[in-house]
């Protein structure tokens, strides 16, 4: 009986085990389902929270952007209202790019306005083309005002490009300026002219001397172009093309054979000939010597007709011993024979100037002879020291308007004549200067006479004991003597008639 019942018991046990296993599976699946529900719920909740935070961040970013945009536009418009030039706003929006253009209300106050506007339009279009249009961009086009002095204002096109930087949460800024500035005379409301800058033709001729020297200095061998340089046609106030800068000027040159059609000069190199009201004063303030002290007495010693190999070296020794600088008005025919002596004069700090080539009375010869006398001396001195003489003393002091126009140099006359050419006596020379010297005068002497050289040491001692400070003529005249004018002292300047 036990054997017969055993199979049934076995079947029951299996059923129980299967039921138990099934129950465990059900429990496991239930737990797993619950876990999955919790996980999915957690993920969903996290996603929902993150999504909500992203939405909040987007809202905050948008709020911050709007706030910064409003602030930027207020800043731009306030800045434009503060400009001296009243302007009106033209706004355009193309996708993410907003353009604000500011134009003068009265366009006639800005000379060459259309040219500035055209360049401004080009700048704006180039900025649009080169900008990344997926982010907000604001382009502000306007005229930048550059005040050089009370008399000069410059107008140039400018654009400010503002790009929204999402990571920084703010605008980045870049400014671009146009290439062309219109500089305006505030009195006339017209573009600057050379007349404004240099005032007169005499100053323009003085500038031409600087141009000529610079052309020679920039050439590897100035002697190859010296004739072309000396024959450079005159620069003129009304026909010379130029480009103005606050601290320099670019001048177009007349047709010439030097290979140069323009040249740039720093105002500090022509400081004595520019109108300081029309340049950046900082560019010239240290270029001119200090004005002469009104409480002191000044005098200049000048020597004509040399150099002479017998007398000039002895004179140079005396001047060196006394610590005096003088001006030597040399004859070209003597320069070519004694170049080493000319070089010594220059190296020892004296001024080398021109006294013509062969000492004719220039008012009694034809124009070509005057030109030859001047240019041949210029070439001789340049060959000796590498510099063209800037000052000229006409033989016998004879000059008129036509001759001065050919010479194209300041005419340095004299106000005290030592009469050494007449007396040939050292004591007479000393007495003559003692009796006739006065403040702010130029003394005429000749370094070709032994008696003159004999007198110089005592002349210097007497002048100093009388309170004089001895200067070369260029220093006495403040380094601003100009062609077509003649000078007897720093306060005695006369147009050549």
* 3-state SS track over 427-456: HHHHHHHHHHCCCCEEEEEECCCHHHHHHH
Is the separation of the CB atoms in 433 and 443 below 8 Å?
A: yes
What beta strand segments (E) does 386-435 contain?
411-412, 416-417
Which sign does the torsion angle of CA 450, 451, 457, 463 carry? negative
CA proximity to 462, closest of 412, 416, 414, 423: 416
* Tokens (6 digits) for 152: 């000069």
Q: What angle do CA 410, 404, 333 make, to 5 degrees?
A: 80
Place of tokens 């001119």: 288
Looking at the DSSP bridge assignments, the partners of residue 101 are 90, 141
Instruction: Give alpha helix (H) positions in 135-239.
Output: 194-198, 201-217, 226-230
247 is known as an active-site residue? no
Q: Using DSSP bridges, classify how beta strands 97-104 and 137-147 pair: parallel, antiparallel or unpaired.
A: parallel
Largest Cα separation within the chain, whole Å, is 179
Q: Is 264 helix (H, G, I), strand (E, B) or coil?
A: strand
The catalytic position among 446, 447, 449, 454 is 446
The catalytic position among 142, 160, 196, 304 is 304
Q: Taking the CB of residue 473, how many other CB atoms lie within 10 A of it?
A: 26
Is the separation of the CB atoms in 480 and 474 below 8 Å?
A: no
338 is known as an active-site residue? no
Q: Angle at which helices 450-465 and 312-322 pack, to 10 degrees? A: 20
Residues marked active site are found at: 304, 446
């Amino acid at each position: 009986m036990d054997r017969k019942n055993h199979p049934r018991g076995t079947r029951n046990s299996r059923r129980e085990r299967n039921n138990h296993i099934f129950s465990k599976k059900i429990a496991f699946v239930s737990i797993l389902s619950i876990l999955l529900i919790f996980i999915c719920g957690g993920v969903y909740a996290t996603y929902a929270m993150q999504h909500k935070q992203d939405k909040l961040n987007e809202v905050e970013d948008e709020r911050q952007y709007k706030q910064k945009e409003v602030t930027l536009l207020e800043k731009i418009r306030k800045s434009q209202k503060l400009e001296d030039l009243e302007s009106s706003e033209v706004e355009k929006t193309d996708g993410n790019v907003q353009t604000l253009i500011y134009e003068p209300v009265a366009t006639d106050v800005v000379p060459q306005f259309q040219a500035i506007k055209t360049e401004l339009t080009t700048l704006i279009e180039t900025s649009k083309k080169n900008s990344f249009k997926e982010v907000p961009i604001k382009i502000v086009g306007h005229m930048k005002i550059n005040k050089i002095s009370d008399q000069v204002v410059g107008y140039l096109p400018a654009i400010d490009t503002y790009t929204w930087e999402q990571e920084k949460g703010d605008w980045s800024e870049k400014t671009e300026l146009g290439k062309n500035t219109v500089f305006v005379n505030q009195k006339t409301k017209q573009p600057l002219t050379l007349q404004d800058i240099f005032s007169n033709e005499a100053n323009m001729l003085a500038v031409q001397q600087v141009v000529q020297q610079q052309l020679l200095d920039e050439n590897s061998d100035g002697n190859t172009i010296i004739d072309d340089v000396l024959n450079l046609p005159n620069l003129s106030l009304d026909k010379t093309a130029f480009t103005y800068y606050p601290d320099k000027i670019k001048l177009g040159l007349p047709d010439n054979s030097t290979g140069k059609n323009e040249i740039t000069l720093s105002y500090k190199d022509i400081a004595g000939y520019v109108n300081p009201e029309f340049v950046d004063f900082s560019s010239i303030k240290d270029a001119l010597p200090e004005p002469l002290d009104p409480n002191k007495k000044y005098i200049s010693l000048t020597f004509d007709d040399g150099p002479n190999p017998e007398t000039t070296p002895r004179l140079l020794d005396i001047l060196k011993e006394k610590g005096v600088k003088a001006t030597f008005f040399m004859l070209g025919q003597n320069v070519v024979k004694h170049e080493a002596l000319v070089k010594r004069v220059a190296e020892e700090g004296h001024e080398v100037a021109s006294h013509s080539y062969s000492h004719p009375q220039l008012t009694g010869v034809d124009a070509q002879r005057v030109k030859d006398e001047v240019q041949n001396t210029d070439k001789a001195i340049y060959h000796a020291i590498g510099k063209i003489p800037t000052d000229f003393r006409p033989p016998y002091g004879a000059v008129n308007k036509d001759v001065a126009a050919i010479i194209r140099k300041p005419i340095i006359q004299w106000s005290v004549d030592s009469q050494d050419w007449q007396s040939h006596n050292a004591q007479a020379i000393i007495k003559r200067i003692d009796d006739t010297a006065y403040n702010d005068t130029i003394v005429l002497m000749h370094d070709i006479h032994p008696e003159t050289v004999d007198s110089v040491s005592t002349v210097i001692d007497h002048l100093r004991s009388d309170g004089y400070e001895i200067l070369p003529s260029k220093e006495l005249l403040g380094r601003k003597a100009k062609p077509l004018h003649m000078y007897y002292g720093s306060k005695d300047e006369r147009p050549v008639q």
